[in-house]
Structures are given as structure tokens and as C-alpha cells.
Amino acid sequence: MSYRTITAEADKTIGTNANWDGIEAEAVARMRLQNRFRTGLDIARYTARIMREDMAAYDADPSNYTQSLGCWHGFIGQQKMISIKKHFGSTKGRYLYLSGWMVAALRSEFGPLPDQSMHEKTSVPALIEELYTFLRQADARELGMLFRSLDTARKNGDEMEVKRIEAAIDNHETHVVPIIADIDAGFGNAEATYLLAKKMIEAGACALQIENQVSDEKQCGHQDGKVTVPHEDFLAKIRACRYAFMELGIEDGIIVARTDSLGAGLTKQIAFSREPGDLGDQYNAFLDCDEVAIADLKSSDVVIARDGKLMKPKRLPSNLFQFRKGSGEDRVVLDCITSLQNGADLLWIETEKPHVQQIAGMVDRIREAVPNAKLVYNNSPSFNWTLNFRQQVFDAWTAEGIDVSAYDRDRLMSVDYDGTALGIEADKRIQSFQKDAAERAGIFHHLITLPTYHTAALSTDNLAKEYFGAQGMLGYVQGVQRKEIREGIACVKHQNMAGSDMGDDHKEYFAREAALKAGGEHNTMNQFAAA
């Protein structure tokens, strides 16, 4: 609905209420446009549709892959989307990622925690709501600036500019984009998963990422000690998430099924099996077992039948059972096929390195059963990207017979190799990794889990070094403010970013000529008028 139409409708309503003195139709229209999304469910419904359209576009052409960065605060997410609109003109194909790791490390009331699902489960939907609050505020701010420009154009009698701005208002692209939100292993049983999923969806999440680890043994995907659950247990949680979406009217909500089986060598349970070849039997077939005789059994031993033999699964003092070494990839493939066949929409395979061919090998096998299988992939900061890709190039060149005698594979991270042919080739492969993996390995969505954790640390370190050192105030001015001004960073006008101008607009709506506004000639923000 156009700006003029909304204004006309508001004017009609106001006209039927003679005692609504001072209520202006255009102010009502502006406030409505600045508050396009009324609830988190409005957001989830809108963003789910976007994500489904993007998935279809990727199926038609893998160059249409999507991307996101993990954000641990609403302001970080807001600034990211403002920057994307500034540099690329559109938010299309760019999402937000909500990392359970960063919630644990930065948002828990217990203080910084490891990524082991020990943080309060309600902190996840709270962050989703916070992110969308800041994104909606970015919409309101941007539209408010357009409204002010419209008022100026009208005051100047510039009809062409008025029409241009009205068209910009009618075609305004929201900063609200899909969030892929980490629900970890569900924070309990399937009922707990369902309850938390509802809270996350009500906060605005259209996509929930859930993993096949044991909830009370959950580990970061890039750490050791991961313990997986039998397929039926995981499928129950996938169904719980789907029921949550359906109950809340988000029929096209997205479920991302993550498998940690590639790096997980342990299970807490032996799966229940009704008949040979069922899912439970397939899961148990991966257990590392020794053949035993009845006479050799102890009172606490657990045994299973395999190929007509009595087998004892290897059990650790922790009461966990081991999988056979080298079975990780086969378990991943079965996990992924099973998840997609039982309600999941996208896959996440947690790997130990970013290697296109390794990922592609597993995806090829999955696609034999589910041809349109596609992945969300973690371009993780836990990978040493420089070292990994230099090693990949070193190994590839060695296999091709190219002379690598000038390089020491054990010290390829050295700055000495930055300008070398090998270093340059590795950087080219890093640069094209997302494109290559989208085309060859079925990766629909590339995310980085913890980028803003690292950027905050790096930028703060640089500022502290300069400001508290010999540079003094110049450390801030030269390293931050001058760059903000020259690079057009929106928050250089931090009062505006925090809502000062919107507050002034509301004061004028409510109090008219009696409004005491903050944006007068003495506001120091005016020093950045040319920024």
C-alpha cells in the first residue's frame, strides 16, 4: 500500500472523529510505515517466505547462495544490515546468524561460559527479539530521514523531488531479514525443544538450527568429546520444531538439521531396534564391538547380536559407547538422509576443516537419496583458514609434480610466505571458497558463527593501544572518528542512530508547536552534517 493511500485512509478515519483534535493523517501514516512489523510472528512469516524463495533460486542456480554473519547484540546486527544496504543497495541473500556459542560466551547471566548449553535457554529468544528490535529501528530511522527530505522538498516547491522521495518511501526495503537461530541440542527432551522453539519463533525466528548431540553432554562442534543420539531421538526433536512452527501458523518455517557425527566418536545410548536394517539397527552397526562368549560376560556388560554373533560394544568409564574409527563420514551421510526424509529442510555438516572436495564427497552420497539436498555451512573462525588453504595448495602441487622445495609445510603460516606464489594461490582459493562450495558441494548458505566477537576484540585492542599510548586522543580521532566521517558510517551521528530525530518527530506530532526538540542549532551532531 502506497504512502498516499495510507495517508488517505488515516485521514478518512480521523474525519469521522470530530474530537480527535490535532491528529494528523500523514503523521499516522508515517508511524505505521515505521512500524511495519507488529509482532515476532509477522517477522517469522515474512522472513520464512524470503528464505523459501532464496532456496528455490539456489536450486535453479547455485550462484544464488546466501550468506550471514553471527551477531551477539542488536546493535551489531543493525549496523551490519545498514552497511549491507549502503554498500550493495539491497539486503537480498544476506541474513543474520544467532550463535549459541556467542550467547553462552557473551549473553549469559552466569557470565562467560563455554559452548555447552549451560546458559539460560530464554536468553536465545531474548536475543532474537533484541536483534529484530534494532532492525526495525533501522527501518524507522531510514524512513524518518526520507520523511524529513520529503518535507524539505515540499517546502522548496520541488515537485519532481517530492515524487522521487514518495517513490523511495513506497519501495523502501526493510532491514528485517531471516535469522538462522541456534537452538543447540534442544535444551532437554523433545518437549523442552518444542517449548523453546515456540519462544524463538514468537520472537521472530523463521529458521531453527538443531544438532544431534546429547543435550546434557553438548559440546562446541569444534571441540572434542561430542556425544550423538540415536536417529529416532533426533527425529523426535525435528518433529517438535515442526509442530511449533505449525502451531504458530508459520507453515513454511525452516529446520536446519546439524550433524556432528564426523567428529563425534561417542554415543550415550544403544539404539532400540525392532527389526534388522531399521534405523536403530543401522545406528548400532557403527558401534565398536568385540565378539564375546556368554561365559566371558560380567554382570554389568551390555551385548548386542550382530550377524549371528554375540558382540560387546566398547564402553568407557563415563558409561559412553564408542563408534568404530573411520565411520564418521558414513554416519554423517545416514544422519543427513534421515533428517531430510523426516522433516528437515537444510543440513549442516560440522567439519574439521574447510575443504570443498571433502564436503562435496558427502553431499554427492546424500543426493543419491535426496537430489535437492543442500547445506548451511559454518565458515568457522575455529579454522585456521590461512594454514588450511596453504596446506591444501602445498598438497595439491605436490600431487601435480610442482616443485614445492621452497616451502616448509610445517611452517606455512609464516609471514615469509605471504607474498609467495603458494600464499597468493591459497588466498585466491579462500576468496572463492563460498562460490566454489556453493557450486560443487551444495552449500546454499554460508555463515560465520563468531565474526563480530573477533572484530569487537580486534578493534577494541587497536583503540586501547593508541588511546592509552603515545597517540592519546589522536588514537580515537584518527583511528575511529575520521574514518567514520570519511567512510560514511551511519553511527558517526550517534544521537540520530539512537533515535533522537525520531523522538523529535514524535514530540512534534504530540505537542505540535510546544514541542521541545533536541535537534536544534546547538546540537553538536550538526558538526557532522557533511559526513
* pLDDT at res. 167: 97
* pLDDT at res. 522: 59
pLDDT band at 219 (very low <50, low <70, confident <90, very high): low
The chain-wide mean pLDDT, for the chain, equals: 92
Average the pLDDT over 346-354 and give the result: 94
9 burial (CB, 10 Å; 0-12 / 13-18 / 19+) is middle
Instruction: List the single range of 27-41, 193-207, 292-306 with lowest mean pLDDT.
Output: 292-306
Average the pLDDT over 289-308 and give the result: 90
Q: What percentage of residues in the chain have a pLDDT greater than 70?
A: 95
Average the pLDDT over 310-316 and give the result: 92
Alpha carbon of 40 to those of 128, 198, 243, 248: distances in Å? 9, 11, 17, 11
Residue 291 near residue 309 (C-beta atoms within 8 A): yes
68 against 490, higher pLDDT: 68
Per residue in 437-479, pLDDT (tens digit) is 999 999 999 999 999 999 999 999 999 999 999 999 999 999 9
Please give, one letter per residue, the 3-state secondary structure of 67-115. Answer: EEEECCCHHHHHHHHHHHHHHHCCCCCEEEEECHHHHHHHCCCCCCCCC
Per residue in 121-157, pLDDT (tens digit) is 899 999 999 999 999 999 999 999 999 999 999 999 9
Q: Is the pLDDT of residue 531 over 50?
A: no
Q: Which amino acids are annotated catalytic?
A: 220
CA distance 286 to 269: 12
Per residue in 60-107, pLDDT (tens digit) is 999 999 999 999 999 999 999 999 999 999 999 999 999 999 999 999
pLDDT band at 253 (very low <50, low <70, confident <90, very high): very high
Strands 309-313 and 304-306: antiparallel
H/E stretch holding 266: strand 266-267
* Nearest partner of 41 among 254, 198, 223, judged by Cα: 198
| Count of helix runs (H) and strand runs (E) in the chain | 20, 14
Q: Is the pLDDT of residue 221 over 80?
A: no
Average the pLDDT over 325-344 and give the result: 96
Average the pLDDT over 251-276 and give the result: 93
Q: How many CB atoms lie within 10 A of CB 309?
A: 11
171 against 118, higher pLDDT: 171
CA distance 224 to 263: 7
Residue 95 near residue 180 (C-beta atoms within 8 A): yes
